[in-house]
Structure 1
Amino acid sequence: MGSYPDTVNLLEHLRSKSQIDCDSLDIQQLGPFVDCTSNQADSYLELLVPQRKAILERSAALGWQLRSEYPGVKYEQLAVEIAMVNLSLTITPLITGAIHVMSNPTLTSTSEIVDNAQRIASLCRQLAPNFDMSRLCIKVVATWEGLQACKRLTALGINTLATTLFTMEQAILAGEVGCIYIAPFVHELKAFFDATYDDGGPNLNLCLEAQNYYKERKCVTRVKAAGLLDAGEAKQLAGVNSMTVAPELLRTLSKTEEPKIDVTDSSIFERDTKATEQTIEVHSFMNDEKKYREAFARSYGGKGAWKTQEAIGIFCEYQIKAEALLRESNVTSTEH
């Protein structure tokens, strides 16, 4: 009789190769996890859940109470920040690593982004005085201005992750400014909000190229792959520093058994990494805004810049929706 090949559970296999994080604020997920990542869309959708009503109302009320402490900040913006921090803090007992709270994507200047990140850190200290602040990471959009903000925040001792990242130019600058993570998007963000949209397929090699780049240069920055759509992509990324995975895909991975040899051979990180070709000229962008903008604009025939702006636009849309939700909650509560 023939013998069956050894099989592995995909989720367990991935955990043996990479750090697995939860890309959701839903606390009823398949742990254990290290980090928990979130954004404006996650927060808005979570605040619509009936079980989160108390957090919604509490955040709306506290935003109104604290508005005098943060002059020049719109009430709605402050209330959203409080809600996002509150939601993330509910996850901390269930993870061993950091909560990743995204800064306001509608802010475009470096100084605004720095102020926003510092305010999020301040709110975190106010809401949870005993919280270890080394477990807070601020997600910042990977624009020139955003990455310059990351440089300042690193100097202030605030951890940052460069998000909406689609190119090596962004990855290089993120490493130079001291981001502890980058989140290369495997797919365009629109693919997660429009089931009929075809973005042309995943860009997996960016994760490998960036990780090799950081390793060769001994950068502190690590790669956190984001925006995975299916189990096949997760298998190919086994070996990336970390990956943040959405609930539906986590459930699929947890229920899937495959031959061990097939799973291992699927990973692009198991292959000869020396064969990976650099797709751009490698040099410092730290103090050369003009060179960075020119290189970024050319990357992937201009698609990298376009994908970045598209993703930022989607997050801005949910920031606006969240602000409206908190504003309405505050009006409703004061009426009573």
Structure 2
Amino acid sequence: MNQLDFLKTYSTVVVDTGNMESINKYNPQDATTNPSLILQSVNSGLYNFLIEKSVVYAKKLGGSKVQIVRNAVNKLSVCIGVEILKKIPGKISTEVNASFSFHYDFSLLEAKKIINMYEEEGIDRSRILIKLAATWQCIQVAKELKKYKINSNLTLLFSFAQAKACAQAKVYLISPFVGRILDWYMDKGLIDFYSVSEDPGVLSVKKIFDYYKNYGYKTIIMAASFRNKDQVLALSGCDYLTVSPVILNSLQESTDFFPKNLINLGCENKIVSNIYSESDFLLEHNEDAMAVEKLSDGIRKFIFDQNQLELIIQKYI
């Protein structure tokens, strides 16, 4: 077997792309998308027919031009998700507009709209993960969505505070970002010599993994944003790993053996009983300068790509 085959025996492998060729090639269980990946797919020109379908749909819904454009972008994301679901047995993650990351009501409404659009296409909500930035507001949205049997993927997760808040809210899945943590430490000149065993992104996921398993939290950990193959291998055994096609290809081309590095030793302690309040969360998250900076930066970048998508849709309207 190649390394990708071995990895699939240790962790559930998810492909981080909207590209159908990559999905067909690597046979993942699940897939994830975000505004950046949707934008890449749209720029490829392969989905022009879906853009036209989305614009027609949004015009029928009516409303202001802003509402039509945003509904068309949501519909486009859903249509691409539907195409991906035809190729995989599991779930697709579809992101709520990142500009609502600090607004509970707007994020909740947007999430329900996305689910409704999928169900109009004949897709059961059990196959959808609503992707939300791991802000306090969106973590509470994910908690509320569970009442409607809607599961969420809390993304842009950089701090231990975010991980604890998600566990307490019984979020379905979190996406801690490995590579972007490493990027921050490298950019700040805080790493003189790189070793995957001391990679701050890898260590962050290991800490979350041990905490969740030790206290019996059921939230799935899906490590994301990898910069190299060694990071992926170091986290083999993590519940899920969402990996780019470039790294998946590198894994597929190698037959070198590697061990399962994260081991679930079982629950040794009862779930923490004290309530983790909003003020607790904000204070602890604020203590982590890297997490504060990278969460804000990630939200800004997703908003930028969302705006680029809206500009493309406007041309069709």
1:313 aligns with 2:308: no
> Aligned partners of 2:80, 2:181: CA distance in 1, in Å?
22
Residues of 2 paired with 1:22 and 1:225: CA distance?
12
Q: What is the alpha-carbon distance in structure 1 between the residues aligned to residue 151 and residue 41 of structure 2?
A: 24
Q: Which residue of 2 aligns with 1:86?
A: 79
Corresponding residue SS for 1:308? helix
CA distance in 2, matches of 1:189, 1:40: 20
Q: Distance in 2 between matches of 1:148 and 1:122?
A: 20
Are 2:41 and 1:46 aligned? yes
| Aligned residue number for residue 162 of structure 2 | 170
- The 5 A counterparts of 1:61-210 are 61-68=56-63, 74-107=67-100, 108-126=102-120, 128-129=121-122, 131-188=123-180, 202-210=200-208
Superposed CA offset, 1:38-91 (max 9, x none)? 0000111101222211111211221111235xx897221111100000001101
Three-state SS of the structure 1 residue aligned to 2:154 is strand
In the TM superposition, 1:245-284 aligns within 5 A as 245-258=243-256, 260=257, 263-264=258-259, 268-269=261-262, 284=274
Q: Measure the CA separation in 1 of the matches of 2:279 and 2:66.
A: 32
Gaps of 5+ in 1: 1-7, 275-281, 331-336
Q: Deviations over 1:10-60 (max 9, x none)?
A: 111111100001100111122321111000001111012222111112112
Q: Quickly say closer, same or farther: Cα 1:321–1:290, change in 2 above 3 A.
A: same
Q: Which amino acid aligns with 1:50?
A: G
Partner of 2:7: 14
Q: Distance in 2 between matches of 1:289 and 1:169?
A: 10
Structure showing greater Rg: 1
**Counterpart of 1:90 in 2: which secondary structure?**
helix
Secondary structure of the structure 2 residue equivalent to 1:106: helix
Structure 1 SS opposite 2:99:
coil
Contact 2:14 2:28 in 1 (8 A): yes
Contact 1:37 1:99 in 2 (8 A): yes
The count of corresponding residues between Structure 1 and Structure 2 is 301
Q: Given that residues 190 and 197 in structure 1 are in contact (C-alpha distance below 8 angstroms), is that contact kept between their aligned partners in structure 2?
A: no
**How far did residue 248 of structure 1 move?**
1.1
* Structure 1 residues 158-203: Cα deviation after superposition (integer angstroms, max 9, x where no partner): 1011100001110111111121110000021896xxxx99895551
| Percent of aligned pairs sharing the same letter | 22
Query: How well do the aligned residues superpose, as a CA RMSD in angstroms?
Result: 2.5
Q: TM-score, structure 1 length as denominator?
A: 0.83
Q: Deviations over 1:79-132 (max 9, x none)?
A: 110000000110112111101001110012111110110111111112x12x22
Unaligned runs of 5+ in 2: 192-198, 267-271
